[in-house]
Amino acid sequence: MLKRVITYGTYDVLHYGHINLLKRAKALGDYLIVALSSDEFNEIKNKKSYYNYDQRKLLLESLRYVDLVIPENNWEQKIDDIKKYQADIFVMGDDWKGKFDFLKDYCEVVYLPRTPNVSSTQTKQYLKSSF
């Protein structure tokens, strides 16, 4: 039986920390779904991405670990997504630990450790100061 994993994020300025997280998420199952924050949702979260949704989606779809990319349009859609895509495991970085435990009624919840010494914020700050 196919084991489906779902995760969420903005994935702006894709870096090796994202790749590590997606690789480990995929290793938990057979099929990885990434719910990618839409540009409109990023505005609500007061986030500004360097790349627009379609560009970030293309980047994620090119990765061998990712099987499907869907839009994340609001905080509340997670339960519906888990049901719709029959996700067995919900994965997030451990900086979110405990925030999504309410999803345990619908699937297994796993918080993976972040890759040390890398973040989108760090990368953007470095790029901004270097050029």
pTM: 0.90
pLDDT at 123: 64
- Angle value at C-alpha 57, between 17 and 116, nearest 5 degrees: 5
Confidence of residue 14 (pLDDT cuts 50, 70, 90): confident
**Distance of CA 57 to CAs 1, 41, 90, 128, Å?**
27, 14, 19, 23
Question: Is residue 115 scored above 90 in pLDDT?
Answer: no
83 is an active site residue: no
Region 83-108: mean pLDDT is 97
List, for residues 41-77, the tens digit of each pLDDT value: 999 999 888 899 999 999 999 999 999 999 999 999 9
For residue 50, report the phi and psi dihedrals to the nearest 5 degrees.
-65, -45
Mean pLDDT of the chain: 92
Q: Which of 29-43, 59-73, 103-117 has the lowest mean pLDDT?
A: 103-117
- 3 torsion bin: left (phi>0), alpha (psi -120 to 50), beta (else): beta
Which of 3, 45, 99, 104 is catalytic? The answer is 45
124 is an active site residue: no
Which of 3, 23, 26, 47 is catalytic? The answer is 47
